Chain A
Amino acid sequence: MPVLAGLAAACVFLVVGCLSSSIFAQQTVAGLAQGVIFSSLALSLVLIYRATEVINFAQGEMAMATTYVAYQLTLWGVTYWLAFFLTLGIAFVLGVVVQLAVIRPIQHSVIAVVIVTIGLFILIDGVVSWIWGADLKFMPAPFGKTTYHVGAVTVARQDIGTLIVSILSVFLLWMLFKFTRLGLAMRAAALRPASAALVGIRVNWMLAIGWGLAAVLGAVAGLMTEPAQFVLQPTMMQAILLYAFAAAVLGGLESPAGAVVGGLALGVFLNLVGQYVGFATSELRLPIAFAVLLGVLLLKPTGIFGHKKVRRV
């Protein structure tokens, strides 16, 4: 309950701030657009954490690689949105293949999986640089450069588009998990693999599909990051992965809702601090993010939405 009260208070603060200052409103919207990217990537980390109990350190690089795939498709003359959806399909296959080929054989050992994901990070980074080169690439902007004016507030169409696409993909994923047979089977397999097998669920397949869906969500984050940074480069997701870690831990690591809220909160907070706190230059963004994380964890070690694990003995 105090958590919900705190969130409600934060929302009231933001609304009042937005109504009283147009700069505040502008920074809030831009912060939400950045934060929703953290949310998407954080949510893909949480999906895998819930199913496999490890952090996939390669999640950001997988997102980056799939963004390069989209870039290649547009080079071949595919329109942006067709490339977008093709890329999501390719990302799904990539996620499934990674789980089947390199994670499944060693999944009994958590530490081995962690090390393999770090290896994948380096491998994907190398392969992308080898294929496309490490120099900057440019892609057509999906939302154009239009800005809207609401009163004295200027809002970029880019930010609105990012918010809509990301929130829509999170919403669709939530629908899948909540209302479909496949979603229920996946949740059961992640929560209680032994019991799931006894009702006839193919647990290993469910885990592979989970990795596929996480990769799709990561691809959405990558595709939305590219227009925000205006360029494509192999390092594009590395800082974002760190913010996504912070967002996921902030939210409670096992909580999908927590990851989404954590990402949005982090995005808005960093933007407002950057605007109103004099010494907080862009070099300090990452340290500030982790200072917030540390503070939250000191107050509430399980994160905003986390539950204490109760083990019966």
Chain B
Amino acid sequence: MAALLELRNVSARYGPVRALHGVSLSVEEGQIVAVLGANGAGKTTTLRAVSGTVRRDGELRFAGKALGGSGPETVARLGIAHVPEGRGTFAELTVWENLRLGAINRRGKLDDDFARVLDYFPWLEDRKHQQAGTLSGGEQQMLALARAFMQRPRLLLLDEPSLGLAPILVTEIFRIIKELNEHEGLTVLVVEQNAHIALQLAQVAYVLEVGRVALSGPSAELQEHESVRRSYLGY
């Protein structure tokens, strides 16, 4: 079976600076795949290469289609939801408007979509008229997940969902991601510094070092891997 997302020898650059040097990875439908690595290893850039928010070369295929030179608007319309660093919250708009923006390209009633989102994030109902910028960091992360879910994506790109959050919130957010994956069949490509929790969540993981894939394999194997343990898990 062909993978849902396939990157082959993808490189990317910010102006003259190359951030990715030929990354190859694949994500099967229904999987959670983690990308690990230190700061500056190219994790964020990998996601940005997929969503078209950075200049990239190489072969990118999504659901059999070449992404080629597609920009972010087109990639989003193909069914890829990207929750970027900083969560992409529209801080000046209300919680409800943020959710509505997830489904901005669909006409008609969205009652079913809202109901489905509330199944996972029931507290959003009470806060819907609140300005999104006034939510706490953890709430904004959940709102970003909910907004991405409103996009009805085939693939969710998550950039550091644990960043700046208290451990208890991190656990909560990863539990919801797991639920979305199991109950809704959502495919997830998640970038994470917290290797410990990411390896528990994902079935497959890639370790990036200076813009290249250094290691990859099933999470269970990587967890046992000597250098991963020493560099990223710290024991």
Residues of A bordering B, CB below 8 Å:
181, 184-185, 187-188, 191-192, 194-203
Contacts and interface: CB of A to CB of B under 8 A. Distances in A.
Contacts of B134: none
Interface string B151-171: 100000000000000000000
B97 A197 contact: no
A184 B73 contact: no
B28 to A, nearest CB: 24
Nearest to A178: B97
A192 B84 CA distance: 13
20 contacts: A181-B104, A181-B107, A184-B97, A188-B93, A188-B104, A194-B53, A194-B72, A194-B88, A195-B84, A195-B89, A197-B71, A197-B73, A198-B88, A199-B76, A199-B104, A199-B151, A200-B73, A200-B104, A200-B151, A201-B105
Given A195-B89, A200-B77, A184 B100 contact: yes
Which of A187, A196, A198, A201 is packed against the most chain B CB atoms within 10 Å? Answer: A198
A55 to B, nearest CB: 21
Interface in B45-66: 51, 53
B76 A195 contact: no
A203 B88 CA distance: 15
Given A184-B104, A185-B104, A194-B84, A199 B93 contact: no
Contacts of A203: 73
A206 to B, nearest CB: 10
Counting from the closest, the 9 A-B pairs by CB-CB distance are A200-B76, A195-B88, A197-B72, A200-B77, A200-B105, A198-B82, A197-B73, A199-B101, A202-B73
A198 to B, nearest CB: 5
Contacts of A198: 51, 53, 72, 76, 81-82, 84, 88
A185 B98 CA distance: 10
Interface string B80-112: 011010001110110001001110110100000
Contacts of A187: 93
A242 B219 CA distance: 65
A197 B76 CA distance: 8
Contacts of B51: 198
Interface string B101-144: 11011010000000000000000000000000000000000000
A202 B72 CA distance: 9
A243 B111 CA distance: 46
A199 B89 contact: no
A171 to B, nearest CB: 20
A4 B42 CA distance: 50
A181 B82 CA distance: 21
B212 interface: no
B73 A191 contact: no
Which of A185, A192, A197, A200 is packed against the most chain B CB atoms within 10 Å? Answer: A200
B147 interface: yes
Contact of A191 (B53, B92, B102, B107): B92
B215 to A, nearest CB: 29
Contacts of A196: 101
Given A184-B104, A194-B53, A199 B84 contact: no
Given A188-B101, A192-B90, A200-B73, 8 more contacts: A191-B90, A194-B72, A195-B89, A197-B71, A197-B72, A198-B51, A198-B84, A203-B73
Contacts of A197: 53, 71-73, 76
Contacts of B147: 199
Contacts of B81: 198-199
Contacts of A192: 88, 90
A196 B88 CA distance: 8
A201 B90 contact: no
A182 to B, nearest CB: 9
Contacts of A202: 73
Contacts of B151: 199-200
A281 B29 CA distance: 76
Contacts of B82: 198
Contacts of A184: 93, 97, 100-101, 104
Contact of A201 (B73, B92, B93): B73
A18 to B, nearest CB: 36
Contacts of B104: 181, 184-185, 188, 199-201
A188 B88 CA distance: 11
Given A200-B76, A200-B77, A201-B104, A188 B71 contact: no
Contacts of B76: 197-200
A102 B67 CA distance: 30
Interface in B7-48: none
A187 B131 CA distance: 14
B69 to A, nearest CB: 15
Contacts of A201: 73, 101, 104-105
A51 to B, nearest CB: 13
A154 to B, nearest CB: 45
B191 to A, nearest CB: 15
B35 to A, nearest CB: 18
